[in-house]
Structure 1
């Protein structure tokens, strides 16, 4: 018997992904406890072998572009494996897309964020069109007629793939096309043109270097109109059933996010509708961008949660040197440190979702907090995700380097949210511009952080240093990353001090804000209660 299998870790299936203390407690705090039943139902599906197989298949069989049919007609269709459609159907049926916009219930955006967090742990790529559909409503509301026409379809819980006129479908999805090859983040350098057609529509001509999810039913597009850079809604299929003049040139061959299609496209006089006013395209589409930035934070938090869950599960069931790997002191230190990072990301994610929900409902104070806190979290949480994924993978040793473990997929996905909707420098500079233009945003941020004042000496010191770091305006742009990192950390620490267990809060403040900070995971001080911290990952998954 040379192939007897021993000391191998059983599959992590049959569990409830929503059994996450930090997430559940946050949902309750932010007023969405009414959604916990649906969260459990979605979490049970997310933990099933069936759903995990969907995630595997969707990545093993990436989308394929069909530019022409067998007769030579241009069709520009993207084909997906059936597993992709299963993932999408679950996401839409559970309202992970635009459904909260039509709900009068307080906490609707919090519930949606929590469901997005849970379901993203199955497979992250399909979250792209779901996220953009969610975010598109914020921009469309700049033009009431368009919002009235499209919002009910965007918010529908009916997943209806295929290219047909929007009015003939049970539900539609929205994408985005901002980036051009000569400009990147500098969208004001865009050259795509929008020419008025005289009937209220425009003809769009030009090229987009990144078109996210080209199989969607409509796209928010930036183009140069007579009045300057403007935002447009460009449908894939026109009301008469003909294909709009949007040509998919190729699909991107990406590092990760392989289940999802990203494309280069050309417009040859494609028909589009103005959203907002001419010349105010950035101001209009930034409403969408801010919503997708929230999903970048949620997606990174979900990846961290998935990574530490896999690491704890493996270490619990793997025996090394006569005892479980999770009982080895240094491994416990690493697992606890990963758990701290994950919980801090989850706590700030749920708080931002709550601020978003209340801001949409008219709370200006929560809107001001969100403006600063979202930029800080987008920078820091997304920046930490690749390091967290790498360390989680390493906890599985060589087994984690094998595709069957899911960990390589997690690792390849981890840098994306740091790039999407503005890379690290863009997010950091955006925060500085926000507080320069609207000092009340910074006041709202520190009002939130100061609710933990006096509870931890490391936090109090870090808050003073964060405030001092903003006083030297001459060097502020050069120091932007340091400043924003510190702001993100004090916000996370404040939330953990107020809402988590002492073991988590104390260890986070000491390891992230204290004088003995470690640059690698697994550097918690000897006084850290690793067992209590790891327990927060959840007993049902270990």
Structure 2
């Protein structure tokens, strides 16, 4: 009887054995759009190999194992010596090592580097998101270190290396290194000017010892960290190595690892600097925020692409399930209401991916116009895309019904991961206020933004009306702080709409403009105007798995 009653039917096959890159038209089309023709074959080949690995059953097991066995802090060795090391499951090292080898810590040394790295980050993060933190920190440390050329000459080749060496050794004895960051303190949070960590200069130029506590230290197993501390000349940026040039351990005391909602595979720590902690100044004294902001800007782009990755994987899982699951006389994907939900989720995912790649292309462009555009577009995109990630993950989970609430489906892990990118590198209010700061202080940023969206003028009447409404809001900045979130949201939505109108298939652009800019949809997903084009939107989002 047990064998008869437990025959399994009407269950989707696992979403495994597929190419995460090739199965995402928004991503593949964006790469084709922004990568130079003579390099496109090479880049697509790299991303295809990464996509096949990310979609494999083996790498998916690594992701599950890394989260089931979170890192463990070892403060002392068996003899009582202080070591402050973080131990990870082998699966974590396999994931991180594969990513480093694939070049996901380097966008600085290759043509089209940011587009190819952002696309790769978006692909590989779908396998497991937690190890994206050290990838992002390591990549983003490079522009900040360039404020101190002598330090950059030592560390940049290590941070951009494709060699993964997790062992703690002096920089001179390593072929590759990872970087972390420690800015936040208990009393200040995002207000880093309230930091109390002290930096006392030593006799040697540029060398200091630090005393203080950091409430959040990202990737505490790294080889070096960018930190902020109060020097005699004011808040200053420093590079703090874990191992000193003579091979001894620096005084980097890990007090505990954070017990987090999600991101379980990754270590986040509280650390103590005890007055013996040696560091090198990066940039001028008193210019700490201006120096480290280069790192923050780069990691904010990763927040956008990381959120886009979570959304894309959630939509892929939901569409895959609905394509195989039958209920009420047919496949779920063919039911008009489920189709509406899936199409709505797909629009959010495609808009996020398209925007992330546009930002990456502007980083690669590097012109004054590009930099001005990024100054406004990055905080607006970081605010809005990361805010949309959690409801997308929750709705995708619901598409699987009760099965989506079960850990084995993978959707609970995505849902726990979803809020992180909204918090990391400045929460929603910080981003919205940064948008206002750019509008007030840097008029060239708004000009660059308006030039960007102006290229889509006349293509869709709902987009044109949204632009007019946005200009009306921008004309009156009196008391604007209370509506800063609304303004950031509108800036991001109009930008997404202009990109989709220019580059996405007509059915995608039409549905987005109707549901996001035209006021024809409700607050919940699945309330788009019913049109024949929704079936094509869903089919475009469905991942292709070899039968």
| Bin for the TM-score computed over the shorter chain | over 0.9
Determine the C-alpha separation between the residues in 2 that align with 1:40 and 1:310: 20
Once the two structures are superposed, what CA deviation does each residue of 1:227-247 show, in whole Å capped at 9, x if it has no partner? 000000000000111110010
- Structure 2 match to 1:218: 224
* Contact 2:316-2:543 at 8 Å conserved across structures: no
Output the TM-score relative to the length of structure 2: 0.97
Segments of 5+ residues of structure 2 without an aligned counterpart are none
Matched, 1:232 2:238: yes
Task: Note the alpha carbon deviations across 1:300-344, whole angstroms, 9 max, x for none.
Answer: 000110000000000011010121111111000000000000000
1:196: which partner in 2? 201
Of 442, 445, 462, 1:458 maps to 462
Structure 1 residue 536: Cα displacement: 1.6
Residue equivalent to 2:135: 130
Q: May I ask how many residue pairs the two structures share in their alignment?
A: 536
Correspondences of 1:24-173 after superposition (within 5 Å):
24-31=28-35, 33=40, 34-97=42-105, 99-103=106-110, 105=111, 107-173=112-178
Aligned equivalents of 1:2, 1:355: Cα separation in 2: 58
2:523 matched to 1:519? Answer: yes
Q: Which 4+ runs in 1 deviate beyond 2 A? A: none
Kindly state the Cα deviation for residue 109 of structure 1 after the two structures are TM-superposed.
Answer: 1.2
Deviation string 1:271-308 (CA, Å, 9 cap, x unpaired) is 00000000000000000000000000000000110000
Residue among 233, 251, 254 paired with 1:248? 254
Matched with 2:356 is 349
State the 1:540 CA deviation: 1.3
Say which of 14, 23, 37 aligns to 2:17. 14
Which moved further from structure 2: 317-326 or 468-477?
468-477
SS of equivalent residue, structure 2 residue 522: coil
Q: Distance in 1 between matches of 2:522 and 2:151?
A: 52
2:271 counterpart residue number: 265
Secondary structure of 2:340 counterpart: helix
Structure 2 residue corresponding to 1:411, chosen from 400, 415, 418? 415
Between 512-521 and 198-207, the greater mean CA deviation after superposition: 512-521
- The verdict on how the C-alpha distance between 1:74 and 1:539 changes in structure 2, with shifts beyond 3 A counting, is closer
The question of whether the paired residues in 2 share the 8 Å contact of 1:173 and 1:218 is answered with yes
When the two structures are superposed, what TM-score results if normalisation uses the length of structure 1?
0.98
State the SS of the aligned residue for 1:264.
strand
Unaligned runs of at least 5 residues, structure 1 = none
2: CA distance, partners of 1:117 / 1:16: 13
Contact preservation (8 Å) 1:164, 1:237 = yes
Q: Is the 8 A contact 1:507 1:528 kept in 2?
A: no
> In the alignment, does 2:321 pair up with 1:314?
yes
Q: Distance in 2 between matches of 1:50 and 1:217?
A: 28
Query: What is the RMSD computed on CA atoms of the aligned residues?
Result: 0.9
Q: How far is 1:353 from its partner?
A: 0.4
TM-superposed deviation, 1:538:
4.2
Find the partner of 2:514 among 500, 510, 515. 510
